[in-house]
Amino acid sequence: MFTLAHISDVHLGPLPRLTLRELASKRITGYVNWHRNRRKHLAGGTLELLLADIESRAPDHLAITGDLVNLATGTEIRKAAEWLDMVGPPVDVSVVPGNHDAYVRGAGSRSTTAWYPYMRGDAAAANRADEAHVFPYMRKRGPVALIGCSTAVATPPFSASGYFGPRQARDLVSMLRQAGEEGLCRIVMIHHPPIRGATTMYKRMLGIRRFAAALSLGGAELVLHGHTHLNTLHWLDLKNGRKVPVLGIASASQGPGSHKPCAAYNLISVAGTPDHWKLACDRYGLDPRAMTIKLEQRHVLLG
């Protein structure tokens, strides 16, 4: 059996001191939002508790579906790279970016370059961190093919939407087909939920229909996402009549006291054969009273 831990929306804090030049952009709205809201609930040792619990269960791999940082300043991006090195080696950790990792123009490329070892597909060059050629990427681990897509784009103030374009869709179909022919269980990682109505309009993913068409043509067993800071299970209807489970997860740094659920992670087990995959998910989350991590819910996804 193969086990995969899934976290998202790390939002590493605290914010560094920003220059006036850095604030003279969309970052000013994020800066105000952090100090008014997020720093109250995304600080403290919540993330450390979650990571310690994950480590105690010794999963085979860790998937992180975006928003490692808040405003995508150079200091934040560098600190996130250092944090990733602490979490685990690139061979054991796979990352896709979120909208906060591409907060302003140019930030997405800088994030991709800094975190490239954790986003590099098995067949990619070690030094090819050009954002336009990184996604989607595929990594084969045991019976699983992990395929990372990007919806991270810079957006105007008060917008947090994502975009999944035609080139990624074409490459995703090819990767999914290849993995299926090799008898691998295909798990797709993406930041924005590819589900209509899962978010408000200004936070939605553009290209949901394109993404669903790619999965219909290529085939997939599971989709993991973040962005909403919610623990969710949706089902994506494909054109061939199949339904693919789509799992979201709360922010990995969310402490008690917010209207959003406390920090949590998914622990997914993969067993079976290519003819009959068996997927199950245990969700572990923060108990705000005891400040410990406990099992919250179990789902059978396939099989």
Distance CA 223, CA 146 (A): 10
pLDDT at 35 over 60: no
Chain centroid offset of residue 93 CA: 11
Condensed to tens digits (0 to 9), the pLDDT of residues 154-195 reads: 998 888 899 999 999 999 999 999 999 999 999 999 999 999
Rounded CA-CA distance 50/265 in Å is 8
DSSP string, 8-77: ------SPPPPPHHHHTTTHHHHHHHIIIIIHHHS-TTHHHHHHHHHHHH--SEEEEES--SSS--HHHH
**How does residue 13 score in pLDDT terms, banded at 50, 70 and 90?**
confident
Q: What is the pLDDT of residue 25?
A: 66
**What's the pLDDT at 157?**
86
What pLDDT is stored for residue 259 in this prediction? Answer: 86
For the chain, what are the domain ranges?
Answer: 2-302
Computed over every residue of the chain, the mean pLDDT equals: 91
Please state the pTM of the whole predicted model. Answer: 0.93
Please report the pLDDT score of residue 290 as a whole number. 87
Least Cα distance to 5 among 296, 220, 249, 236 occurs for: 249
User: Which of the four pLDDT bands, split at 50, 70 and 90, describes residue 264?
Assistant: very high
Contacts of 82 (CB under 8 A, 6+ apart): none
pLDDT digits (tens, 9 = 90+) for 53-86: 999 999 999 999 999 999 989 999 999 999 999 9
DSSP string over 126-179: TT---HHHHSSEEEEETTEEEEE--------TT---EE--HHHHHHHHHHHHHH
Q: Residue 15: count other Cβ atoms within 10 Å of its Cβ.
A: 20
Residue that has been written with the tokens 């045991």 in this structure = 142
In the three-class reduction of DSSP (H, G, I as helix; E, B as strand; rest coil), residue 203 is classed as: helix
Report the pLDDT value the prediction gives residue 156, as an integer from 0 to 100: 87
Region 2-302: CATH code: 3.60.21.10
For residue 39, the tally of other CB atoms under 10 A from its CB is: 15
pLDDT-derived band at 21 (thresholds 50, 70, 90) equals low
pLDDT at 134 over 60: yes
Q: Average pLDDT in the 43-52 region?
A: 88
pLDDT at 11 over 80: yes
The answer, yes or no, to whether residue 34 has pLDDT greater than 60, is no
Name which residue leads in pLDDT, 40 or 74: 74
Distance CA(63)–CA(158), nearest Å, equals 28
**Range 33-62 average pLDDT:** 82
